[in-house]
């Protein structure tokens, strides 16, 4: 299963124990993937941020933040994890396994971040960025060029400002 996962992510580990650690959920015991998840979140965020920064040179900081949030949120990560069948490779404790943990969005998203961290530790940022951007290529391509949706709060504030209305009190 590990070799199949390596094929799907397009990376073969020189230290397979890193991938094994990334696949161990906390329900299995004290040696689990949460520390890798922490690191992977940052690697993922930086890789996606840099890609968006380059793709949208005219976008404001707020617009880039919004786009990044659309890509690095739990549903998107879980979707990517399902696409590579990450759930089948996870090592879960009995209770998490029985309750459908291998397809739970939170577990899949966390495990994907842990796998990204494992690649980073195995080879460094440039290769981890390449793997990450390859995994998220469809999601990045799905962002409409030149169209950056604003969150509802921003839309309301802009509408009120444009009509000369008083801004809302929060």
Angstrom distance (rounded) from CA 51 to CA 42 = 14
Q: Is 41 a catalytic residue?
A: yes
Please, what's the largest Cα pairwise distance for the chain? 61
Catalytic-labelled residue, pool 6, 15, 34, 41? 41
Residue 127, token pair as written in the block = 């290769």
Torsional sign, CA 50, 52, 53, 55: positive
| Inter-axis angle of helices 2-9 and 105-123, nearest 10 | 80
Torsional sign, CA 140, 142, 148, 152: negative
Residue 61, token pair as written in the block = 């900081």
CA proximity to 24, closest of 114, 128, 154, 157: 114
Catalytic-labelled residue, pool 113, 122, 144, 149? 113
Residues tagged active-site: 41, 113
């Amino acid at each position: 299963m590990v070799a199949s996962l390596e094929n799907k992510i397009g990376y073969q580990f020189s230290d397979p124990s890193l991938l094994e650690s990334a696949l161990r959920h906390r329900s299995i015991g004290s040696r689990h993937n949460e520390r890798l998840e922490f690191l992977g979140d940052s690697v993922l965020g930086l890789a996606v941020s840099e890609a968006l920064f380059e793709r949208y040179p005219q976008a404001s900081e707020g617009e880039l933040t919004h786009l990044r949030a659309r890509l690095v949120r739990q549903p998107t990560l879980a979707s990517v994890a399902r696409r590579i069948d990450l759930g089948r490779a996870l090592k879960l404790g009995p209770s998490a396994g029985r309750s459908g943990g291998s397809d739970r969005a939170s577990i899949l998203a966390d495990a994907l971040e842990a796998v990204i961290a494992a690649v980073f530790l195995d080879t460094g940022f440039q290769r981890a960025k390449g793997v990450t951007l390859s995994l998220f290529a469809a999601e990045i391509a799905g962002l409409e060029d030149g169209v950056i949706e604003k969150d509802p709060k921003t839309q309301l504030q802009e509408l009120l400002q444009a009509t000369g209305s008083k801004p809302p009190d929060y």
